[in-house]
Amino acid sequence: MKVKILKQTANELKIEIEGTGHGVCNLLQKKLLENEEIDQAGYDVPHPLASNPVIYVRMKGKADPKEAFLQAAQKAQESNQAFGKALAAVLKS
């Protein structure tokens, strides 16, 4: 999976993620929007057959958008691990 920065300012960040789809982007967007310092977060898949998703975040005040992305990715990873453990427990019984 490749990640490329398309736009970066003091309070905005737009990245392109190669090799992923709505599932990862929707999860990241949800985790980004849990952060109260975020003004706006969303993603777009310009064309489902030929484009890589683009995720955008704009911060309130002087919060760092890179840090917000990293925190959202960490929360998404923790959520997936918790789900994996719960699923494994249910399937073993």
User: CA 14, 2, 47 angle in degrees (round to 5)?
Assistant: 65
Q: Which residues, 6 or more positions from 83, have their beta carbon under 8 angstroms from its beta carbon?
A: none
Res 7: pLDDT:
96
Res 2: pLDDT:
92
Options 3.40.50.970, 3.30.1360.10, 3.40.50.850, 3.40.50.2300; CATH of 2-92: 3.30.1360.10
Element (H, E) at 17: strand 12-18
Q: Can you give the residue ranges of every domain in the chain?
A: 2-92
Mean pLDDT for the stretch of residues 79-90 = 92
pLDDT in tens, 16-38: 999 888 889 999 999 999 999 99
CB 25 within 8 A of CB 45: yes
